[in-house]
Amino acid sequence: MPEHAAASRLCFSGLCFLLQILLILLFAVLVRYSPEGSPEPCPPQLNCSHRSQDPNFLQPRFQDVHVQLLLSFGLLVAFLSRYGPGSAAIIILITVFSIQWAVLMQGMLFFFLSGKISVGAQSMVSADFCTAAVLISTGAVLGRVSPVQMLLLALLEVTLGTLHEFILLRLLGVSDSGGSLTVHTFGAYFGLMVSRVLYQPHKDKRKREEQQDKGHHKDVFAVVGTIYLWIFWPSFTSTTAAHHDGENWAVLNSYFSLVASTVSTFILSPVLHEESTPRMVQLQDATLAAVAVMGMAGEMLLTPFGALIAGFLVGLITPLGFRFFTPVLHSKLKIQDTCGVHNTHGLPGVLGALLGTLLTLLATADTFGYRLELLFPLVTQGSRTVTDQALIQLSALLLTLLFATLGGCITGTILKINVPRCCADTQYKESPGLQEVKLGTVGKKGFLGLRQRQGLGIFLQLPPLAAAFR
């Protein structure tokens, strides 16, 4: 049995090696730095002096690293609070492969110039958005899939997600700069469908009990995660907003939405749970939901109170979803949702898209002014009416749900076929999920259980942090 485990470990190691070599070869053949970073001095037709003063141009250059990495790791930290540090390493692995693969995939569709992919700060930000969707999906299945399955899920989702993004943004001309549809809705429903296909009734009951317990152990991560999200989500939502004026609104709207949804948590928590103040994990969920709802509407909202109302309502819906909808999802629809991504990303994303559709319908040249051209260039060019645009935004929501559901089904089925192969043994022995189970058990038994450590070889496999907290 130990031999088998060793073989499985080496198999996984070899898989990573082959994948990385393949990626390096593809980069060598296909990818070059974009002209904006090229050795040639700025060609006159690019009007560089104008561009370099344009905050819209400068801003991604300066913020790319921050937003890009923190987005991924903000999510990482967010999941840590629910699922413990055992999952940290595997999520970092998913992140680094997803970013590389997304640079290639998105490059093929969005940044392909004369046989080469042009890479720059802009393409890194795009790759980052794509990785965010993958991490959201990961949140739905965490602890029930092996690292190999996780990796396969990431590669498939990046491919499908990029295609989906290309159809929405380029072909249909949908306005979704903050990713309500392309990141939150797509990521959440994709992950939920994968979870549905991989449903295993027996493992399930035990899981949920421990989940109740876990929350208490992870609040230190939730504090850090909430702070990270408050700092970086507004920047994230507004990174690709049409213009630096638009961006300003997207930041402020995201911020007001955050504020209001935090208050909602304080209102509902004493009603739903028998606690006077909400746990930090609940505040973190409210934070995530508040920005998901601003993804599409953030740059369209003309008044602060609109953002306050949207944040307030979504802040009420998220805890209600956790209380009443997640159990239904689980018992009736047989969908396990480890980190509750349906409540924090799926539902808020859908609501954000509906809000965006409504705002599109109300958009007039009077109220939007020059911003109308930036948000809906096809409307000002006269090739569409505002109503057409609103219908397209709405149909984009339906398309996203369809794409995510189908894509999740296909991916789940492929993962299921993949299970008994090569590294199958890692699924139960080495997945972060099982380590978590042990941690959960420790939590329930209390410190009496810990004294049995010397006798229980099993505890030696515990993730390091669990030991640190004992």
In angstroms, give the least distance from the CB of 258 to a second copy.
8
Q: How far is the CB of 355 from a second copy (least distance, A)?
A: 16
Which residue from 62, 216, 192 is spatially nearest to 139, judged by alpha carbons?
Answer: 192
Indicate the residue among 192 and 313 with the shorter CB distance to a second copy.
313
Biggest alpha carbon–alpha carbon distance for the chain: 76
- Least distance in angstroms from the C-beta of 306 to a second copy: 9
Q: Is 369 left (phi over 0), alpha (psi -120 to 50) or beta?
A: left
Interior CA angle at 135 toward 321 and 338, to 5°? Answer: 40
Minimum distance between the CB of residue 389 and a second copy, rounded to whole angstroms? 17
User: To which H or E segment does residue 195 belong?
Assistant: helix 186-197
Shortest distance (Å) from residue 442 CB to a second copy: 11
Give the side-chain half-sphere CA count within 13 A for 146: 22
**Cβ closest to a second copy, residue 386 vs residue 410:** 386
Edge to edge, what strands does the sheet with 116-119 contain?
31-33, 116-119, 112-113
Give min distance, CB of 331 to a second copy, in A: 27
What is the dihedral sign for C-alpha 319, 321, 324, 330? Answer: negative
Report the nearest approach of a second copy to the CB of residue 292 (Å).
17
Q: How far is CA 466 from CA 87, 210, 259, 470, in A?
A: 12, 15, 33, 6
3-class SS of residue 336: coil
Smaller CB separation from a second copy, 73 or 403? 73
Q: Which is nearer to a second copy, 259 or 354 (CB)?
A: 259
Instruction: Tell me whether residue 13 or residue 331 sits nearer to a second copy (CB atom).
Output: 13
CA-nearest of 359, 355, 267 to 318 is 267
The Cα–Cα gap between 321 and 349 comes to 14
**Nearer Cβ to a second copy (29/406):** 29
Name the phi and psi angles at 316, rounded to 5. Answer: -80, -35
Minimum Å gap between C-beta 343 and a second copy is: 19
Nearer to a second copy among residue 23 and residue 422 (C-beta): 23
The DSSP result for 132-162, as a single string, is HHHHHHHHHHTTSS-HHHHHHHHHHHHHHHH
Q: Which has the closest alpha carbon to 301: 311, 313, 286, 289?
A: 311
In whole angstroms, the minimum distance from the beta carbon of 433 to a second copy comes to 13
How many other CB atoms are found less than 10 A from the CB of residue 440?
21
